[in-house]
Chains A and B, each alone.
Chain A
Amino acid sequence: MNKSKTLTVEEKITELEKLVAWFDSEEFVLEQAVAKYESAQKLADEIQRDIGTLKNTIEQVGGAAE
């Protein structure tokens, strides 16, 4: 899952949605199910951790009132 380290939260959520959708799709193959399941669980944990730690940043770029 090194790839997921470089993904944004949005991309990770999309990836998780794809994995979940795979279980309902025609592409479902029993042999791959366990690996996909583990990837999905790991991704879900990562997303929860990421969302918990994300902070907004503020940069003042210009202008001055009064």
Chain B
Amino acid sequence: MENDLLPKFSVSDFVASTNQTLEYAYPSVVIEGEVESFKVNQGKFVFFNLKDAGASVGCFMMVFNLRVPLEDGMTVTVRAKPKLTNFGKFSLTIDSIKPVGEGSIKKGFELLKAKLDKEGLFALDRKRSLPELPKTVGVIASMQSAGYGDFMKIADQRWGGVTFRVYHTLVQGLDAPDALIKAIRYFNQLEVPLDALVIIRGGGSADDLSAFNDELLVREIAASRTPTLVGVGHEVDVTLSDLAADVRAATPSNAAQLLLPDKQEILSRIRYMSARLSPRMLRLVAQRAEYTTTLLRGAQDMITVQFERTARRFEYARQLVESYNPDHILRRGYALVRGEKVPGSIIEVEAHNYKLTAEVRTYEQK
């Protein structure tokens, strides 16, 4: 072919044209590989290579898009746009990344857990309790999932009168964390706050549940204005979202159990209270009657005591008065003399058993 027939570019145009071609062919690609030469420059720019046994490609991303800690050797899935830089270097510009494979997911989980734990996001003293009888509850879930069905089924069995405001959302995949964050923000900016916010997802592989280990999502849950209840996966599954929640449920069904009281239990309690009232009232009436009788007996006893005390006082006074009776002195041999103490006057002498008159012969002071 003649050169004249071939396309001709300036270097800049060629790079721009190549990028246009790449953008047309691969507007966005998902690639899985192993992280190599991971580094963060100036706290803002992330660089690493993504490799497998046969090839390696340079990757670039902004640090705010890095939602899970990375280390060399971790296997990740990235969603990226391929790009040729102005320096002719081919690279992937990543907009989302997540670890894949049990080992890498676990590694990412542990690294982020340690980081957030250090910040106190999982501290027990941050946990709030859920209201006893919530009236308005926000639910973030995939409405087509079995987990959502289980939650609603158990909720209906346990209690009624609750308004569930359901935000239907993605619960797995690269876009799930942002979708979940959007849902949480929606509920938290409501003018009238909800009583509780429930985030549920049924069981799945570690990869399926990894969206719930996204750093920004975990932070959003921890910062939620509304108390949060997170029930993700099966009993053995623990995600960082679980740990950041105010209340952690083992499963979506368990979330309904923790959120709502059991109406059968409440009814039993009401029946118990009602059944106890009648005998309780009879017992109280009997107690009052018994108390009245006791008071009456007490009053009677007090009257008796007061009477006896008065009788004793009277007897004492009577004996005192008696002791002053002059007759008692006369009985002892003394006599009572009446008359003037002048010689020649007639005086009367009274003894116990006689009286006499006598003349005063002399009178002198002793």
Contact = CB atoms under 8 A, between A and B. Distances in A.
Q: Do A and B come from one complex?
A: yes
Interface of A: 8-10, 13, 16-17, 20, 23-24, 28, 30, 33-34, 37, 40-41, 44, 47-48, 51, 53-66
19 contacts: A8-B133, A8-B161, A9-B133, A30-B284, A33-B284, A40-B273, A40-B277, A47-B270, A51-B266, A51-B267, A55-B161, A56-B162, A60-B166, A62-B167, A62-B186, A63-B169, A63-B183, A64-B168, A64-B169
A21 to B, nearest CB: 10
Interface in B281-339: 281, 284-285, 288
B160 A54 contact: yes
B362 interface: no
Task: Rank and list the top 6 A-B pairs by shortest CB-CB distance, nearest first.
Answer: A54-B160, A54-B161, A44-B274, A63-B169, A10-B133, A63-B167
Contact of A58 (B152, B160, B274, B278): B152
A18 B179 CA distance: 46
B280 A23 contact: yes
Given A33-B281, A63-B183, A44 B273 contact: yes
A23 B159 contact: no
Contacts, number: 109
Counting contact residues on chain B (CB < 8 A from A), the size range is 35 or more
Contacts of B271: 44, 48
B134 to A, nearest CB: 10
Given A60-B143, A63-B169, A13 B266 contact: yes
A58 B139 CA distance: 10
A65 B170 contact: yes
Interface string B329-357: 00000000000000000000000000000
Residue of A9, A28, A41 ringed by the most chain B CB atoms within 10 A: A9
